[in-house]
Structure 1
């Protein structure tokens, strides 16, 4: 009973465990015994979480500076700095911490800054050739020298309201091995000039929250890109060259502008035509509408290789438009539908005779997140026309608030005709986790 079994663990395992903890807890291990007095000073992963109270910045700053001053490791594998505060920017302190990390050849760096003002990244960071992963939240980028991120594989920039095309180009030129780029900017970030993302190393690209102005152009040239996610309002041009793409998510929804303010339908036709070879597709409400309009205007786009499709209905959508989109996926095997609004069954009878080819559809997941009081007409249509359907998972989470609507929806679902003898209808467990 007196054995110190924790201390008997290999040093490598102890350091791995400590690397998963906040530095406040790591430093407190000095109280365990004399053997643990200096163990924390060589932990390779350092995470400094902010204090709960905003007025504790001075204490937080002293703790971080003191911990780094006593740290004796040869190399920092990962450094995480998170600051929540208000008022003047503590940039001087953070600058010194980053310089220390660069001297210790930091590989992974995460800086989360949630102050009133954005944090201006120091110039020394751009010459950190040891870094492999970099995440910056609410940080301002102003590059005055050549970027030397020769080992960088992943870059994530969050909550920035200013990111010019020139800065993006400098980053991509200085990061020749970059494989993943995530740009989660604040809604309202405007691309008012040409914004090019050109890279032969990129494999994953996510752009979320930008507004391509009418006079601007967003151009993505990434011949080896495998996954692309674009969430933006597009009033200007968007050009894609992504021949290796396998997964695409397109969200052009922005209810702050009208359809007339968006780019012409021909521009969106170019975008969809550029990704017609993909295998996995996710479409938002407006993307569904664009595909349906293209079909009506004799410029349909087919996805002959796509076996997976996810659609999100955010507001009222016509059943006709959804079925027209399904016609564009002749080899579809898996369909996921998220209904944040209602699908209207105004012309379902018309579509039944010339409905989409569902010869390959095997699995459907339907999530209804609003209380409609009845099963989606799309679910009924798929059950009645998907001849090889094997599994239909229905999530009635939105119905749980109304007992009568929930029971009525269940009865309706169980009474629906199924064209496939193998079709298994499953109620999501989340739908059953309720109290009347």
Structure 2
């Protein structure tokens, strides 16, 4: 029987070998198939190394060393290094990173497990001088002080638990990413974080942003279509924010008693909002009664909102008021998604059905709206529900 796959052109075979389902060790193993495959992988454009797939720490290091010697680095477009189980020698990481960024690398992903710590020594600054990189993802690494940045092609920057030596380096990095379209910046380790307010100008091409509160003026992100604000509790000072003409997806945290009312008063600044997600934080764990008046309904809620989600639901009066407000005023609403907190409760399905029954009794402006409730195996539901049964007080469920 003829080997039809081996008769395919090299470019097509390399495309197959670069599929997401194949790690680099699988690709190298194809060299054993026949002479046709023996050296084909030398021109592979994607290198992915994951220590969990190696039989030992030593073999993992040796495999990366040997691969980078044998492959044609000029053909490598993507380099991904994931370490779940080991703390890698800093000098090895330097050698590997420097080797791949010298070529026309387009995608760099460095991921380290927190249990074993990040790279002790800061990453080489050559990463930030690679003019061809389009996607850069860093997780649990340290960065030294940056003197120059040259990333004219960078479109996506993800940095999670990244340690910076100084605020100026982060400011320089973002200011020089003139074509940046996607920014994910979480758990930043920055000196004097609380007193830092970075001046990075306007990111005119930015489409997606997930950033912490306090580092930037919100005006920086006024062009985005997707915005996730971490630890940003809306206050009266936010009322003068600019209009986000393109924004359709907004995710925010809700901390304080006044946060919801302040948030609603800011929603007119998002006239095209279609997806609105609230992540409740610990400070919301108290019953309170506060809601906007009917004449304060933001136009985006009444005319554009299609999906509303409330994460961390604890069966509080304030939460039912929020959901009731959205259901009552959102004309084109398609779905409301509620996820509860994780506490002891033996029957999540019973809790889900009970909550669905309560919310289904609320007036809905949109006839096509569907309710979805996610009650984990452990939830606060039983404790709260039992208390309400004992007190015979269900009245606040229907106040909005």
- 1:180 aligns to what? 182
Partner of 1:75: 75
Higher strand share: 1
1:416 counterpart residue number: none
TM-score relative to the length of structure 1: 0.68
Q: Quick one: structure 1 residues 86 and 60, their matched pair in 2 at CA, closer, same or farther if it must change by over 3 Å?
A: closer
Q: How does 1:8-407 map to 2 (within 5 A)?
A: 8-20=7-19, 21-51=22-52, 56-72=56-72, 74-86=74-86, 89-114=88-113, 115-118=116-119, 119-162=121-164, 164-185=166-187, 190-208=193-211, 210=212, 212=214, 218-220=215-217, 239-252=218-231, 265-270=235-240, 273-275=241-243, 278-286=247-255, 289-292=258-261, 302=268, 304-313=271-280, 316=285, 320-321=289-290, 327-328=297-298, 329-345=301-317, 358=329, 360-369=331-340, 372=351, 374-375=354-355, 379-380=359-360, 384-395=362-373, 397-398=375-376
Change (3 A) 1:317 1:309: farther
Tell me the alpha carbon deviations over residues 49-108 of structure 1, each in whole angstroms, 9 at most, x when there is no partner. 114579x33321211111111113632111112234556x51212212122212322111
Aligned residue for 1:235?
Answer: none
CA distance change for structure 1 residues 285 and 170 in 2, over 3 Å: closer, same or farther? closer
Structure of higher RCO (CA pairs closer than 8 Å, 6+ residues apart): 2
Flag structure 2 segments of 5+ consecutive residues without an equivalent.
Answer: 342-347, 384-400
Compared CA separation, residues 363 and 135, structure 1 to 2 (3 A):
same
Aligned equivalents of 2:62, 2:320: Cα separation in 1: 67
Instruction: Give yes or no for contact 2:210–2:229 (8 Å, CA) kept in 1.
Output: no
Q: Is this contact kept in 1: 2:231–2:253, CA < 8 A?
A: yes
Q: Extract unaligned runs of 5+ from structure 1.
A: 213-217, 221-238, 254-261, 406-436
CA distance in 2, matches of 1:139, 1:347: 38
**Separation (CA, whole Å) in 2 of partners of 1:19 and 1:347:** 47
Once the two structures are TM-superposed, the CA of residue 163 in structure 1 deviates from its matched residue by: 6.0
1:226 corresponds to which residue? none
Query: Using a 3 Å threshold, how does the CA distance of structure 1 residues 399 and 288 change in structure 2: closer, same or farther?
Result: farther
Which structure's residues are more often helix, by fraction?
2
- CA gap of 1:284–1:27, structure 2 versus 1, over 3 A, is same
Q: Secondary structure at the match of 2:216?
A: strand
Q: 1:12 to 1:149 in 2, by over 3 A?
A: same
Post-superposition offset of 1:390: 1.4
2:109, 2:170 → 1: CA distance? 19
What's the secondary structure of 2:96's corresponding residue? helix
Q: Tell me how large the CA RMSD over aligned residues is.
A: 4.0
CA contact (8 A) 1:161 1:186 kept: yes
Do the aligned residues in 2 keep the contact of 1:331 with 1:359 (CA within 8 Å)?
yes
Between Structure 1 and Structure 2, how many residues are aligned?
359
Once the two structures are TM-superposed, the CA of residue 376 in structure 1 deviates from its matched residue by: 5.8
- What CA distance in whole angstroms lies between the structure 1 residues aligned with 2:326 and 2:186? 38
Q: Deviations over 1:346-382 (max 9, x none)?
A: 8989x99x998626244232334355573268724xx
137-146 vs 284-293, greater mean Cα deviation: 284-293
Q: State the distance in 1 between where 2:18 and 2:326 align.
A: 56
Distance 1:92 1:319 in 2: 56
